[in-house]
Structure 1
Amino acid sequence: MNEQLQQTLTALGGGLTGVDASTAASNVGGWHKTLDGVPGAETLVSHLAKLQEALKSGDLAGAAALLPGLGSETEKLAAGAPEADKAGLHQLAAALKG
């Protein structure tokens, strides 16, 4: 599994509410950079930008409202991901959907 995905899953190990907003914003920014320009990830990249903005502004309710959509988009992206990352992406998608 790719290191960035592993770090994200580890950070979410205590649940979504266990991650502080600044750490989450940094992680989201990293994913935004990683996925920007990846074919099929345009909607996910757009959602990540909105999530990062919400986290940075302290709008935690707005950030939480974006998570199910991020989970759905992550699940879609998992279908075309390298085999080594598919299970982790499905796990991430499930965590984001709640």
Structure 2
Amino acid sequence: MNEQLQQTLNALQGGVTSLDASTAASNVSSWHQTLNGVPGAETLVSHLGRLQEALTSGDLQGAAALLPGLSSETERLASSAPAADQDGLRQLAAALRG
């Protein structure tokens, strides 16, 4: 599993509500940069951008409302990801569903 994915899963071990908004925003920003331009990830990148905006503006309810869509897109993309990352992406999708 790639290091960025492992770090995200480690950060979410206590659930999405265990992260403070600035840590979450930093993580989301990093994923947005990583996935921007990846074929097939356009919808996920869009979700990440909206989540980033919600987190940085302090709209935690808005951020929470975006998590189900983010989870669904992560789950959808897991099957086309490198084999070493598929289980981690499914774990991430489950963590986002909370």
- TM-score w.r.t. the length of structure 1 is 0.99
Quick one: percent identity of the two aligned structures?
A: 78
Write the mapping of 1:14-93 to structure 2, written as runs, cut at 5 A: 14-93=14-93
Q: Give the residue type in structure 1 aligned to 2:45.
A: V
Aligned residues: 98
Regions of 4+ moved over 4 Å: none
Q: Which runs of 5+ in 1 are unaligned?
A: none
**Post-superposition shift, 1:97?**
1.4
Taking the aligned partners of 2:26 and 2:61, their CA distance within structure 1 comes to: 18
Q: Give the residue type in structure 2 aligned to 1:13.
A: Q
Q: Give the residue type in structure 1 aligned to 2:40.
A: G
Q: Which runs of 5+ in 2 are unaligned?
A: none
Which string of whole-angstrom CA distances, capped at 9 and with x for unpartnered residues, describes residues 17-65 of structure 1? 1000000000000000000000110000000000000000000000000
Write the mapping of 1:5-20 to structure 2, written as runs, cut at 5 A: 5-20=5-20
